[in-house]
Chain A
Amino acid sequence: MSLNFYRRVAFGLSPNEKPDKDPLNWAINQLDTIPDLLWPGTIPTEKDLRKKYGEWVYGDREVLRKKFKNDKHAYRKAKNELRIKTGERYFELNEHAIRHFQTKYSKQPVFERFWLFWGNHFAISEKDFLAEFSTGPYQREIIRPNMVKTFEEMVQSVTTSWCMIHHLDNSESFGPNSKKGMEWGETINENHARELLELHTVSPNAGYTQEDVIQLAYIMTGWAHKWDRKNLETGDIWFDQEMHQKGDKIVLGVKYKNDAKRELAKVIHDLATHPICIKFVSTKLCRHFITDEPTEEMIDPVIEAWNKSNGSLIEIHKAVITQAYKYNEITHKFHPPEIWLMQLSRMFDLNIPLSFEKMNYTFKSKPNNRQRQLSWILREIGHSPYRAKQPNGWSDLEVDWVSPELLLRRFWFASVELPMLVKSGNRSHGFILSCLKNNFEDHKNMASLIDNFRFGTSDYDLGQKYGVICNLPGVLKI
C-alpha cells in the first residue's frame, strides 16, 4: 500500500509517527469515538460566543449607528473599539487554531477529515458575523458530536441549530395563515427549505418541485430565534407556534398531518432516509475521499453500508475508508488549499498554529500579527474555511481549485512563508529527507530535485526546497 493513503484519508504522518502494518485497520479504528479537542487554550461555548455576537450587533446597530449619525470617522473609530471589546476580530482566529491544532495532533486524524467533510457538507457560508462568532462553535458543538450517531440525527441537529437557521433565514419565515403571518402580513422565506432539500439531503436528483419547496418551508415555519430588544437575533432557537403554518402539508408525495413542531422531525426522517439522499451523500463522500467522478462501483458499497446500518455514520465512514483503500492505487484526488496546508503542517511539523499562550487575548487591542498569521495564510491561499461564498460550501472538484492565481499562491506560501514556520531544530536537510521518506515512496526522486540546496539552511534555501517539494504533482494530488 502506498504511503499516500495517509494523506488520502488523513494528513500524512508526522515525524514521530510511523506507517502502520495494517493501514486500513489503522484508519478504520479511528472512527468509533469522538476524539477530545486537544487545544490547551480557550474553547468558548457556542452559547457564550452567541452572546458576544449579540453584544457586537446590538452595540453597533442600536447604539453606535444612532450616536454617530453624522460623523463617519467617529463612527468608524467607535466601531473598531467595539470590535476589540467584543472579540469580533479574535474569535475566528482562535477557532482556526483549535481546528488546525486538532488536525495536526489528533490521534484520530481520519475522524478529523470527516469532521471537515461534514462541516462543509452542512456549510455555513459567509453571512453577517457568522464566521466571526458562530461557524467554529457550530462545527464543534453541532457537527462533531453527531458524527457517531446517524445521518438523520445529524440533519435534525443541524436544521434546528441557531447557526443554520440564521444562515438560511428561517427566523424570517412566517406561515401566511399563522397568527403572526396574518397579523403582520408576512409570508414564508424558502431559503432554508430549499437548501435542506437541495444541499443537505435529497439533492435536485429527487425531482422535487417549487411546490415541494413551499410545502417544506411551511413545515419549517416557527423554528426561529427568540427575539428580544437586547439580544436581537441572537436568542435561542425555539418553536414559535404563532409563526407556524396551519394545516396538512405534502412534500415529495408524502402527507404530513397538521402536527405543529413534530412535523419537522417526521419530514427530516423521510428526507434523510430517502434512497436518493443516500446516493447523493454517498457519492459526495466518495468524491471527497476517492476521486472527482466516482463510479457506481465505488459508491455502491457505501450505500449498502448505509442501508444495513440504518444510516449509522460510523459504519458509513468505515465503508468510505474501505473504498478509499481499495481504489487508492488507481485513483487520483486533488486536495484543496486548507487540507494541503494541514498536511504540510503535520508532515513537516510546522510552527502553526501559534502556541495557546501566545493566542491569549485581552480584548484591549486588536489581535497581533502573530495571532492573525494562520488565518491570514488561509485567506491568502484562498481557503478561509468559514468563508465559503455560497451555502453549498467549498467545492470538492479539482477544476474549481486550479486557477493561475490559486496555484501561484501555493508556490508563494511554500517558498516564502513556510520557511518562517520551520522550527529551529528542523532546519537541516536531513530533517526534510526523513519527512519525505516517512510519507512518499518516491522520496529519493523528490530529494534529487532539491539536492542543489542540501547544504543550505537559510530561509532562502529552505524556500527553494519547500517551494519545489510542496508543489510536486504527488503532493498537490494523491
Chain B
Amino acid sequence: MNCTRRNFLIGGSTTLFLSGYFPKISFASMQKKNLIIISLRGGMDGLTAVPVIGDKRLKKLRKKLILEDVLNLNSDFGLHPKLEIFHKLWQKNQAAFVHATNIPYTGRSHFDGQNLMETGAHIPYKEKTGWLGRGLLASNIIGKGLAISLPMPLLLRGVPQNNNFFPSPDFVETKLIDQIYNEFKGEHNELIKSTLDTIRQRPLSMQIATDSDDRKKLALEAAKQLKDQSGPRVAVFDLDGFDTHAAQGGVDGAHADELEEVNKIVTILHENLGQAFDNTLILTLTEFGRTIKQNGGYGTEHGYGSAILMAGGLLKKSQVYTDWPGLKKKELFEGRDLNSTVDSRAVYNSAMSICFNQDPEFLRKEVFWGDELPDLSQELFKI
C-alpha cells in the first residue's frame, strides 16, 4: 500500500498517543497552521508587482509605466517599492513569488475570471462552492474559516459554519442578542440559533463597532483571531481596484496604490501574528494579469499570466519560482500577454496540503476533480 503523507500523520500520532509519549519535536507539527488568502480583484499586474528587470523589452513596451527605485530580488526580478514588507521578509526567507502563473482561464472577463479563481473550475458559474471551502471540508476542518467581508465569499463556500468579520457601522448591544436568543426554538430555527451561538462566543474584540473601510483594523482583528490556537485556521481578505485601464503609472500610479493596500495588510498580519507567523502562509489570488503593452491611457488591458505574492514562515525559502516564458512577441499569449506556465491552482492545492496536514493527491481529487496539478510543496513550502 502506498503510505501517503496523510496516512503517515494519522498513523504516527495514534502511536504517539497510545504510548503516551509526546516528544518535544512534535510540538511544531501540532501547532495550528494558518492559511490566509488575499483576493486581488480586477486583475493584478504581476509585471508591476514583480517586474522582470532582466528583460529590456518590458521597459520598451511600457515607456510611461517605468518603475523607479525597484527593490532588488535577484538578477532577473525586482520588487515594486510599495511592497516593502515582502522585501523585508525576503531577507529572512519569509517571502517568495510564483511568476507567470494563472488559473487556467484565458477569457479576460472579470466576472468569469473571478468566479473561476474562487471555484477553481473551468466553466464559469458551474460550481457553487469555492476551492478553499471544499479543501476545508475534505480535511474535516469545520468552523475554522474567517472571511473579512460581509457576504461569505464564494471561495469559502462548501464548508459549514464559517465566521465572517466586517463590523456594522455601529455597536450592537450584546444584551439585545441575549434577549432574543431564547426565542429561537424548534428545529427550523436551528441554523439561526447556532449562528447566534457563534456571535455570542465571539471575543470582546470582535464585538466592537469599527469602520469596515479601515482595512488596518480588520487585519489587526484577523491577526488576533488567527494567533489564537483555538481560533480560525483560514482567513480570506478581499481587495479590489486592480483594474487599472488608465494612469496605471509607475511607483506612484493607480496600481501602486493597490499594492500598497496589500503591503499594509501583510505588514499588520506580520506584526501582530507574532510567533504564529512562523506557522502561517499568506497567498494572493487574482483572476488574470494585464497586457504587457501600455494602452492609450497609460494603463493596461486585461491579460493572462500574473504572479502570486507569498509570505509567511511556512515558505521554504525566498525565491521567484517560475518557468519563465519570455517576453518576445511569439512567447506571449496571443501575442500580447505574459503567458502562464504554472497553473496557480497547483500552488493553492500544495498550500492547502501543508496548512491542513493533508495529502496533496487526496486534495487534488477532492477539490480540483483530479485535474493535473503537480505537487509543489517540496519546492515552495516547508514540509
Verify if B246 is at the interface (C-beta below 8 Å from A): yes
- For B153-188 the 0/1 string (1 means CB < 8 A from A) is 010000000111111111111001101100111001
- Select one of A332, A404, A449, A472 contacting B188, CB under 8 A: A332
Residues in A with CB closer than 8 Å to B152 are: 400, 403
What chain A residues lie within 8 Å of B192 (beta carbons)?
Answer: 402, 407, 473, 476-477
B-chain residues with CB within 8 Å of residue A312 when the two chains form the complex: none
Known contacts A191-B124, A406-B150, A411-B176, A69 near B112 by CB under 8 Å: no
CB of A294 within 8 Å of the partner chain:
no
Is A66 interfacial (CB-CB < 8 Å)?
yes
Taking a contact as CB atoms under 8 Å apart, the answer to whether A405 and B125 are in contact is no
Q: Report how far A238 CA is from B128 CA in the complex, Å.
A: 34
Given A127-B111, A391-B125, A404-B163, A65-B296 contact (CB < 8 Å): yes
**B191–A398 contact, CB under 8 A?**
yes
The closest CB in chain A to the CB of B186 belongs to A473
Instruction: Kindly state whether residue B20 has any CB partner on chain A within 8 Å.
Output: no
Judging by beta carbons under 8 Å apart, are B172 and A382 in contact? no
CA distance A393 to B30 in the complex (A): 42
The answer to whether A405 touches B112 (Cβ under 8 A) is no
A142 to B202: give the CA distance in the assembly, Å.
Answer: 46
Give the Cβ gap from A75 to chain B, nearest Cβ, in Å.
Answer: 5
B272 at the interface (CB under 8 A from A): no
B-contact bits for A239-279, CB 8 A (1 contact / 0 none):
00000000000000000000000000000000000000000
Q: Is the CB–CB distance between A405 and B150 below 8 Å?
A: yes
Docked Cα-Cα span, A404 to B152, in Å, equals 10
- Tell yes or no: A157 within 8 A of B by CB: no
Q: Does B245 contact A (CB under 8 A)?
A: yes
Give every chain B residue within 8 A of A392 (Cβ-Cβ). Answer: 125
**Interface contact B125-A390, CB-CB below 8 Å:** yes
Please determine whether A404 and B195 come into contact, CB atoms closer than 8 angstroms.
Answer: yes
Chain B, Cβ-Cβ closest to A68? B247
Flag whether B189 is at the interface (Cβ < 8 A).
yes
Task: Evaluate contact between A402 and B247: CB separation under 8 angstroms.
Answer: no
Give CA–CA (A382, B167) in the complex, Å.
12
**Given A65-B297, A382-B150, A399-B191, A472 and B180 touching (CB < 8 A)?**
yes
A394 to B115, CA, bound (A): 15
Q: Is A464 an interface residue (CB 8 A)?
A: yes
Q: Which of A385-432 contact B (CB under 8 A)?
A: 389-392, 398-400, 402-409, 411-413, 415-417
Decide if B203 is an interface residue (CB 8 Å cutoff): no
B247 close to A69 (CB less than 8 A): yes
Instruction: Please tell me if the beta carbons of A402 and B125 are within 8 angstroms of each other in the complex.
Output: no
Most chain B beta carbons < 10 A, residue from A61, A65, A449: A65
Whether the pair A402, B172 counts as a contact (CB closer than 8 A) is: no
B191 & A405 in contact (Cβ 8 Å cutoff): no
Residue of chain A at shortest CB distance from B201: A404
For chain A, the bracket of interface size reads: 35 or more
Q: Taking the complex as formed, is A21 at the interface, i.e. its CB lies under 8 A from any CB of chain B?
A: no
Taken together as a complex, chains A and B put the C-alpha atoms of A382 and B152 apart, in Å, by 10
Instruction: Let me know if A389 and B154 touch, CB within 8 A.
Output: yes
Q: Knowing A125-B111, A409-B150, A468-B179, say if A403 contacts B164 (CB, 8 Å).
A: yes
A403 engages B125 (CB within 8 Å): no
Contacts of A407 in B (CB 8 A): 192, 195-196, 199
Determine if B324 is an interface residue (Cβ-Cβ < 8 Å).
Answer: no
A471 within 8 A of B: yes
Taking the complex as formed, is B53 at the interface, i.e. its CB lies under 8 A from any CB of chain A? Answer: no
- Report if B231 contacts A (CB, 8 A): no
Q: Whole-angstrom distance between the alpha carbons of A416 and B167 in the complex?
A: 14
Question: Is the beta-carbon distance between A69 and B297 smaller than 8 angstroms?
Answer: yes
The answer to whether the Cβ of B93 comes within 8 Å of any Cβ in the partner chain is no
Known A198-B125, A412-B168; contact A71-B247, beta-carbon cutoff 8 A? yes
CB of B133 closer than 8 Å to a CB of A: no
Interface residue from B151, B252, B297 paired with A389 (Cβ < 8 Å) = B151
A473 and B189 contact, CB distance less than 8 A: yes
B112 touches A191 (CB 8 A): yes
- In the complex, which residue of chain B has the Cβ closest to the Cβ of A379? B150
Report the Cα distance A473→B187, complex, angstroms: 12
Bound together, the chains give a CA A291 to CA B154 distance in angstroms of: 23
Q: Provide the residues of chain A in CB contact with B112, threshold 8 Å.
A: 191
Contacts of B321 in A (CB 8 A): none
Question: A69 and B246 in contact (CB under 8 A), knowing A402-B195, A404-B202, A408-B168?
Answer: yes
Measured between beta carbons, the chain A residues less than 8 angstroms from B167 are: 405, 408
Decide yes or no whether B254 CB sits under 8 A from chain A.
yes
Does B72 have its Cβ within 8 Å of any Cβ on chain A? no
User: Which of A127, A405, A409, A467 has a CB less than 8 Å from the CB of B165?
Assistant: A405
Chain B residues with Cβ below 8 Å from A473 are: 183-185, 189, 192
Assess whether A72 is interfacial by the CB under 8 Å rule.
yes
Q: CB-CB < 8 A to A32: which residues of B? A: none
Which residues of A36-93 have CB atoms within 8 Å of chain B's CB atoms? 61, 64-66, 68-72, 75
Complex CA–CA separation, A156 to B362 (angstroms) = 46
Q: Does A380 contact B (CB under 8 A)?
A: yes
Residues of A within 8 A of B189 (CB): 473, 477
Contact A405 B180 (CB under 8 A): no
Contact, CB under 8 Å: A380 / B199: no
Is A461 in contact with chain B by the CB < 8 A criterion?
no
Say if the beta carbon of B333 comes within 8 Å of chain A.
no
Interchain nearest-CB distance for B82 vs A (Å):
14
Q: Does B336 contact A (CB under 8 A)?
A: no
Asked if B64 and A70 make an inter-chain contact with CB atoms under 8 angstroms apart, the answer reads yes
- Within 194-250 of B, Cβ neighbours of A (below 8 Å) are at 195-196, 198-199, 202, 245-247, 249
Is the CB of B298 closer than 8 A to any CB of chain A?
yes
Q: In this assembly, does A304 line the interface, its C-beta being within 8 Å of a C-beta of chain B?
A: no
Question: Which residues from chain A contact B154 at a C-beta distance below 8 Å?
Answer: 389-390
- The A150-198 residues at the B interface (CB cut-off 8 A) are 169, 191, 194-195, 198
Q: How far is the CB of B70 from chain A (nearest CB, A)?
A: 19
Asked whether B115 lies within 8 Å of A65 as measured between CB atoms, the reply is no
* Option from A405, A412, A417, A464 in Cβ contact (under 8 Å) with B164: A405
Inter-chain contact A403/B195, CB cutoff 8 Å: yes
Which A residues touch B249, using CB under 8 A?
A: 70, 72
* Residue in chain B with minimal CB distance to A172: B109
Task: Determine how close the nearest CB of chain B comes to the CB of A412; give it in whole angstroms.
Answer: 4
Residues of B within 8 A of A70 (CB): 64, 247, 249, 298
Query: Is A402 within 8 A of B296, CB to CB?
Result: no
Q: In the complex, what's the smallest C-beta–C-beta distance from B174 to chain A, in angstroms?
A: 10
Contact of B183 among A127, A380, A408, A472 (CB under 8 A): A472
Given contacts A407-B196, A407-B199, A415-B176, contact A75 B165 (CB under 8 A): no
* Interface pairs (7), CB distance under 8 Å: A61-B297, A65-B297, A70-B64, A382-B151, A415-B172, A472-B180, A473-B183
Given contacts A125-B111, A405-B164, A407-B196, 19 further A-B contacts (CB under 8 A): A61-B245, A65-B297, A69-B297, A71-B247, A72-B249, A194-B123, A195-B125, A198-B125, A403-B152, A404-B164, A405-B150, A411-B168, A411-B176, A412-B168, A467-B172, A473-B183, A473-B184, A473-B185, A477-B189
Please provide the 6 A-B residue pairs with the shortest distance between their CB atoms, ordered closest to farther: A65-B297, A412-B168, A65-B246, A72-B247, A69-B298, A405-B164
CB within 8 Å of A: which residues of B?
64, 109-112, 115, 123-125, 150-152, 154, 162-173, 176-177, 179-180, 183-185, 188-189, 191-192, 195-196, 198-199, 202, 245-247, 249, 252-254, 257, 296-299
